[in-house]
Amino acid sequence: MKLSRKQWIPIGILLLFIITNPSASAFKEYIGSNTYSGLKRTTNLFVCSVYKHYGSEYFGIFGNFIELKEPEIKHDTVKEYINDNTMVDTNMKDTSVHDPLGILKPKK
């Protein structure tokens, strides 16, 4: 059976996807890690892959990675950040006067 040009194009595109599917070592290099600790390929579809690294999910295709899901921030982490941040003043008080009827006016 001889393949026509119309049949070779989809086959070529499919082969390109398969060849450029990023490997686990490419993902390790992408995240800048020296070990495979915390790294897991959750899905391998031969044309693309999904990787997980400490709660973050990445989609790998054509030798590139796209972050799909960032890790969830625990409430304690946010609370510690607010407590450590010097820009946040927890002792702030409302000094404005609530005067819905306009009775309280400054003395002249």
**CA-to-CA distance for 33 and 42, rounded, in angstroms?**
18
pLDDT exceeds cutoff 90 at 25: yes
The answer to whether the beta carbons of residues 30 and 16 sit under 8 Å apart is: no
Give the end-to-end CA distance of the chain in Å, rounded to a whole number: 101
Phi, psi at 11, each rounded to 5°: -65, -40
The answer to whether the beta carbons of residues 56 and 67 sit under 8 Å apart is: yes
Statement: the pTM of the whole predicted model exceeds 0.85: no
pLDDT of 22 reads 94
pLDDT of 69 reads 78
Please write the tens of the pLDDT for every residue from 61-92: 999 999 997 766 655 555 555 555 544 444 55
pLDDT of 1 reads 73
